[in-house]
A and B are shown apart, each in its own frame.
Chain A
Amino acid sequence: MVKNPSSYVPPRVPTVDEVGVKERAAEFASRSIKKAAKVEGLKLVVRMMDLTTLEGSDTPGKVLQLCQKARHPIHGFDDVPPVAAVCVYPPLVKPAKAALEGTDIKVAAVATYFPSGQADLADRLDEVRRTVADGADEIDMVISRGDFLAGHYGKIFDEVAATAEACKPAHLKVILEVGELQTFDKVRLASQIAIDAGADFIKTSTGKIPSAASVPVTLVMLETIRDHFLKTGKMVGMKPAGGIREAKDALRYLVMVKETLGDAWLSPDWFRFGASSLLNDVLMQIVKEKTGRYQSHRYFSVS
């Protein structure tokens, strides 16, 4: 913790060349991944998925159904692995934990007054402690974007550091909500502050505002992770979330991870997709590769 937040000196980060980032991001779409490589890539996407439901209308029954899907994404395809985690609101951690007992699937919960984060730090930390006590393996926190944009970087550092402390032994993912940060430079700065304060993962978005994960903004965050690793040798994970709906997009992200960070990050321990409708599209592509027939949503369970 910084004793006096106003004396906090934010990290110096390089400025981001917006045109260059977008050009580089567009390049990842030009890699040709077909047949067996595509199927392997899609299975990796499933293994990296945080299957998410964050609706006001969520019920324990819906979470139970989602957990079944997390364990067995599709009937009749035994080589399709389970997903990495199920991501829910704090009150649904207990039913999710019960439904996933005996599996390696993690339960992730969005805490710290998701999605706005507009509450006293004490209340937010209290929610984190209760959620971890309920059994959450991973906590997805939101930063106070208002404080960040007002230039109170010390407060951001402190809240992330305090949450990292409060959520132990669970892993901490820090949601920057990039759609509200306005520029790539701010995304880069926010990423660095979150990493310095002890984030295990940095995550793009809540999925609750229209502007969510994109390839360029994820690239900026991956480059922050890369530069931090080169400087300190410490690995940090990445989770793009919101707006990734098609298998083709997911494969682009994998290409980007490999070409920016290397094979070490191509694992659910270091890269996750936050998504709900993506899973069925990935499954449809896997079935299409096997049967040669284009598939329909009608033959896949809701997720």
Chain B
Amino acid sequence: MATAPTRVPVKKTYKLYIGGAFPRSEGGHYLVVKDHKGAFVANVCRATRKDFRGAMVAARKAQAPWAARSAFNRGQILYRMAEMLEGRAAVFERLLAELHGYSASEAQAEVGAAVDRLVYYAGWCDKVTQVFGNTNPVASQHFNFSFIEPTGVVAAVAPKTAPLLGLVSVMAPLISIGNAAIVMVTPDNAVVAIELAEALATSDLPGGVVNLLTALWEDVGSYVSGHMDLDAFFGVGLSSEEQKAIQVSAAESVKRTKFVDDASPAEWRQESRQSPYWILPFTETKTAWHPMGS
């Protein structure tokens, strides 16, 4: 009697996440992802500057309708993202352990913290405007008040450590106020990032609000901060030379820049790594004068 053939497992193709779809890189190049022991895991897309340009178009298109949604509705969607992540917790725990050498308890802690962080920023969506908005005393018959609005499209470099939690910690504050985000992920973290993109794609998040590119900074860096249509830049764990180059090229289009140091996975879990002050750098303050009788 013939033995049953061994089943060939179906391997996943890790592509980019742009405009709610999963396209391959325009350039057709790829990078090899290895696990923490150096064994082959997968080939992932090596995003080019043209992929970034495409993501910029998608993000620009998505940003205004995203900002126009009620803050409460954005909060609902961020909460929905947390739900989707929670449902895939086992997948992320396995990937963190197998690819990144996390212990079972560390992996569990990171996934739990990532879910909680989404809930945290979901809550801030419809509160941050009150906290950072105010009425201003003026010496005329006007009711004068200031409030924050999203700056537009923000490009971010995700941390190298904490593949899941770091990415969520960078992305969530940006989109909570109504920005669209293009997040560049180091190829070592690509598998977790694209796995997260699949959770986002099923969480009512409109396509283009979050775009993920697995890219080498030397391929795309100079084109990112110089892009005239980009409104702000958020970098984690960049060297001071890299930060300076970004600030210089961002100056021409008066882009906002914000830099944060990378941290260990344990530090990323701390409450000091979540705050409405992570939202504030990516907003514009609008002040209105309203005539008022005495």
Contact = CB atoms under 8 A, between A and B. Distances in A.
Instruction: Identify which of A292, A295, A296, A297 gathers the most chain B CB atoms within 10 Å of its CB.
Output: A296
A296 B229 contact: yes
A293 B53 CA distance: 11
Interface string B96-127: 00000000000000000000000000000000
Interface in B201-260: 223, 226-229, 252-253
Interface residues of B, number: 9
Interface in A252-303: 292-299
Nearest to B53: A294
B226 A294 contact: yes
Contacts, number: 23
A95 to B, nearest CB: 33
B56 interface: yes
B207 to A, nearest CB: 20
Instruction: Identify which of A294, A296, A297, A299 gathers the most chain B CB atoms within 10 Å of its CB.
Output: A294
Contacts of B223: 293-294
Contacts of A293: 223, 226-228, 252
A297 B53 CA distance: 14
A297 B226 contact: no
Contacts of A298: 228-229
Contact of A292 (B56, B226, B229): B226
Contacts of B53: 294
Interface in A180-213: none
Interface in B14-46: none
A293 to B, nearest CB: 5
Interface string A112-138: 000000000000000000000000000
20 contacts: A292-B226, A293-B223, A293-B227, A293-B228, A293-B252, A294-B53, A294-B223, A294-B226, A294-B227, A294-B228, A294-B229, A295-B228, A295-B229, A296-B227, A296-B228, A296-B229, A296-B253, A297-B229, A298-B229, A299-B228
Interface of A: 292-299
